[in-house]
Structure 1
Amino acid sequence: MKQFISTWWQRIATPSMLVAVTLCLLASLAGAYLKQLPVLNLFGALIIALLIGMLAQWPVQKLWSNTSEDRRNGLSSAAGLIANKLLRLGIILLGFKLNLELLFTQGVKSLPLAALVVTLTILGTYALARALKVSPHLAMLTAGGTGICGAAAVMAISGSMNSTDAEIISDEEKQERANNEVMAVATVAVMGTIFALIDIALLPALPLSTAQRGIVAGASLHEIAHAVAAGDALGAVDVATIMKLSRVLMLIVAAVVIAVWWSRRNQKASASGSTGPKKLPIPWFMLGFIAASVLGTIVPVFHAWAPHLVDAGYIFLGMAMAALGLNVNFKAMLSHGRNAVIASFIASVCLLAFSIGAAALFF
């Protein structure tokens, strides 16, 4: 135990970690404030924090990283640690946002649609992205973000995939995965914003009731912020929010299934001559997400604290997003991301059409 504490203290008690934590915290707090402004509320706090982290690369490199190789390596390591650990903590706290009683009562009709939407969108987007020669990792992150809940889903699914093999991949592969995370987050943010505007403009012209418009917004849009903003503009924010949270609930199952699939895929792809014990491909932080959902639903003391814990979760996730932005390789990201954007766009068109049809037929 003493050795464990000493090792971690050496990793976190560094000037580079202080710089990284300060920058990421400021970026996350700025995102939380700026998301309240018109237009920016369509992007949400996590996307804004990511953008701030990306923009901070140049002054940070000039004033800190370029002064010595130790500082450059130290900052990169610190940002990677923040992105990895605070991601998991943020996802766990986000579980307090899910009121399971509300979803299984008022949202009982939306749950089957959410399961169908998430399943079809993930499978369809992944297949389309792979047909366009997108790497399996980026294809699955893009599919998860498009099908479930945007940036939070990208980060949760990435964490579940990394939980199966993070210890055995090279530093180069780790950097590529970090770039993929940023690319997937940026893709679903842009697609979600575009289709939120499309929903707001298109749905009032269709023969749909107010409740049906809310179902379409919650079933078709990517970020929670997108669904809430569109639902509010359409006069159906409560319906849109319940429908969207029904999709968020599917993150629990999706993260576990994807972790198992990713582990088996990698085992088949590798020359597995080892007979050692295999790591159980379960993203354990998702158990924390489930526990938080249950506690926030059935334990009275958490009812009052749940909003504050969710806010804290978004702050930690914002710090993780800013840390990703500090480390992203722009050249690599842009060279590999175009086809992922195309796949997400086509999938978003199909998702909107399917959601309109399902809302008209079943709600």
Structure 2
Amino acid sequence: MSIIRTKSFWLATILTLICSVAGILLAKLPYVNLIGALVLALLLGICMQLTPASLQTEAKGGISFISNKFLRLGIILLGFRLNLEKLAAAGIKTILVAAVAVTGTIVLTYWLSHKFGAEDELAILSACGCGVCGAAAVMGVSPQIETNNEERKRENEVLAVAVVCVMGTVFTLLEIVLKPILGLTNAQFGIVAGGSLHEIAHAVAAGGAFGEISLDNALIMKLSRVLLLAPVALIVGYWYQHRLVEESVIDHTNKPKKLPIPWFLGGFILTSILGTFLPLSATFLDALVQAAYVFLGMAMAALGISVNFKVIFKRGGAVFGAAAISSCCLLIFMIIMSKLFF
């Protein structure tokens, strides 16, 4: 049995690693970089569904392990990207604006998704992806949500990732066009891009289109939102658990169980502290962040290999509509904030 499991793991590792590395390489190409390495890995994972069914069945156990454990490892390593000193130097206003933007976007997207008829789990995943940092936020929040239907959960994860990918790409192009029309300085545009675009790749692509100042501001603003991933995941997990108990969906002897602190989010905070205060070289930190994207890409590819897209296409309209409206509101808010405070 152990030999079978080992074979399944290594087969899944090879398949997902190919997708992840290919996604990273493709994301370096002009225009393709708007999509981002993680979403490209997901799309390549979907293409892996064209491989023989016997191969997918053999890799199934390893695919499940990679989509779970490698995801957490990738999020931990992603913490090395956060430089807390740079965020502090940017001023409290950057963090406050990010906090308001994230909170407002999550609440609005969730509320609209419900109004439009989306199921609860899909609504909160899409809301967190739009509010915080795209695919990484979707996958970071998902483990905090209890469910008895893992297949449905994977479908919701992929649909939420698709929402933030499409919205982020559309709004990246839109903001680049709007920049001269709105009369934003390069510094202000960087704040708008980092505060309103969903993926880090989107913020980098838009901010980088107008020089170093724009790019630096886009990264600082975007990383201020990434910093909120851990508290958002904890709050969602606590809230979601209480709701399930109140609705008698789960039974914890009539009391919500004590919410465990997710070790991978604790690791994310720890690595951001280590990356900020230890004398690590920029090359070494870049290597750690690249490793993070490799592991996250493998998790996304595993998701793509195992998901049922026929179901997803039937129920994507509600969250796409909600995300489109909330993304417009977020953009307007960030334009106003950039004009007032930056």
Q: What's the TM-score once normalised by structure 1's chain length?
A: 0.89
Name the counterpart of 1:320. 299
Alignment deviations for residues 179-207 of structure 1 (CA, whole Å, 9 cap, x no partner) = 11111101100100000000000111112
1:189 aligns with 2:152: no
Any residues of structure 2 matched to 1:264-283 within 5 Å, and which?
264-270=242-248, 272=251, 274=253, 278-283=257-262
Worse overlay, 99-108 or 179-188: 99-108
Any residues of structure 2 matched to 1:172-183 within 5 Å, and which?
173-183=149-159
1:198 aligns with 2:177: no
Any residues of structure 2 matched to 1:162-173 within 5 Å, and which?
165=146, 169-170=147-148, 173=149
Q: CA, structure 1 residues 82+48, in 2 after alignment: closer, same or farther (shift >3 Å)?
A: same
Give the unaligned 5+ runs of structure 1. 1-6, 66-71
Per the alignment, in what secondary structure is the counterpart of residue 149 of structure 1? coil
1:351 to 318, 330, 338: 330
Any residues of structure 2 matched to 1:25-64 within 5 Å, and which?
25-61=17-53, 64=55
1:258 aligns with 2:250: no
Report how far residue 133 of structure 1 moved: 1.3
* Contact kept in structure 1, 2:245 and 2:256, CA below 8 Å: no
Per the alignment, in what secondary structure is the counterpart of residue 274 of structure 1? coil
Equivalent-residue separation in structure 2 for 1:121 and 1:76 (angstroms): 36
Q: CA, structure 1 residues 253+273, in 2 after alignment: closer, same or farther (shift >3 Å)?
A: closer
Alignment deviations for residues 301-354 of structure 1 (CA, whole Å, 9 cap, x no partner) = 465522111110110000000000000101111112221111111111111111
Report how far residue 78 of structure 1 moved: 2.0
Q: What's the TM-score once normalised by structure 2's chain length?
A: 0.94
Name the counterpart of 1:100. 84
Q: CA, structure 1 residues 243+174, in 2 after alignment: closer, same or farther (shift >3 Å)?
A: same
Equivalent-residue separation in structure 2 for 1:343 and 1:194 (angstroms): 15
Equivalent-residue separation in structure 1 for 2:237 and 2:120 (angstroms): 13
Equivalent-residue separation in structure 2 for 1:302 and 1:155 (angstroms): 29
Equivalent-residue separation in structure 1 for 2:137 and 2:4 (angstroms): 28
Give the unaligned 5+ runs of structure 2. none
Q: Which amino acid aligns with 1:253?
A: P
Name the counterpart of 1:140. 124
Q: Which amino acid aligns with 2:31?
A: V
Name the counterpart of 2:320. 341
Name the counterpart of 2:72. 88
Report how far residue 273 of structure 1 moved: 6.5
Equivalent-residue separation in structure 1 for 2:87 and 2:74 (angstroms): 21
Name the counterpart of 2:14. 22
Equivalent-residue separation in structure 2 for 1:303 and 1:233 (angstroms): 23
Q: Which amino acid aligns with 2:328?
A: V
Name the counterpart of 1:3. none
Equivalent-residue separation in structure 1 for 2:91 and 2:142 (angstroms): 28
2:6 to 13, 23, 26: 13
Worse overlay, 285-294 or 151-160: 151-160
Report how far residue 146 of structure 1 moved: 0.5
Q: CA, structure 1 residues 273+158, in 2 after alignment: closer, same or farther (shift >3 Å)?
A: closer
Alignment deviations for residues 129-165 of structure 1 (CA, whole Å, 9 cap, x no partner) = 011111111101100110111111111011232xxx3
Name the counterpart of 1:4. none
Alignment deviations for residues 225-264 of structure 1 (CA, whole Å, 9 cap, x no partner) = 1011101113311111111111111112111111111111
Name the counterpart of 1:129. 113
1:239 aligns with 2:217: yes
Structure 1 ranges of 4+ moved more than 3 A = 9-12, 301-304
Q: CA, structure 1 residues 275+357, in 2 after alignment: closer, same or farther (shift >3 Å)?
A: closer
Equivalent-residue separation in structure 2 for 1:58 and 1:217 (angstroms): 37
Report how far residue 58 of structure 1 moved: 1.5
1:248 aligns with 2:226: yes
Two-structure CA RMSD over aligned residues (Å): 1.8
